[in-house]
Amino acid sequence: MKIGFVGLGIMGSPMAANLLKAGHVVTGYDVSSARVDQLADLGGKGASSVVEAVAGADVVITMLPDSPQVEEVAPLVIEYGRPNLLYIDMSTIKPETSRWVAEKAAAVGVRALDAPVSGGERGAVDGTLSIMVGGAPEDVEAARPILSALGTTVVHVGPAGAGQTVKAANQLVVGGIYGLVSEAIVLLEASGVDPAAGLDVLAGGLAGSRILELKRHTMVKREFTPGFRIDLHHKDMGIAVAAARAAGVSLPLTGQVAQLVAAARAQGHGSLDHSALLKVVERLNG
* Residues with active-site annotation: 167
Q: In terms of DSSP bridges, do strands 129-134 and 117-118 run parallel, antiparallel, or are they unpaired? A: antiparallel
Which stretches within 29-161 are classed as H helix?
33-41, 50-54, 67-80, 95-106, 120-126, 137-147
Q: Which amino acid is at 48?
A: S
Q: In terms of DSSP bridges, do strands 25-29 and 59-62 run parallel, antiparallel, or are they unpaired? A: unpaired
Long-range contacts of 128-132 (CB under 8 A, 24+ apart): 128/152, 129/15, 129/153, 130/155, 130/170, 131/90, 131/155, 132/157, 132/162, 132/163, 132/166, 132/167, 132/170
Nearest to 5 by CA among 150, 134, 165: 150
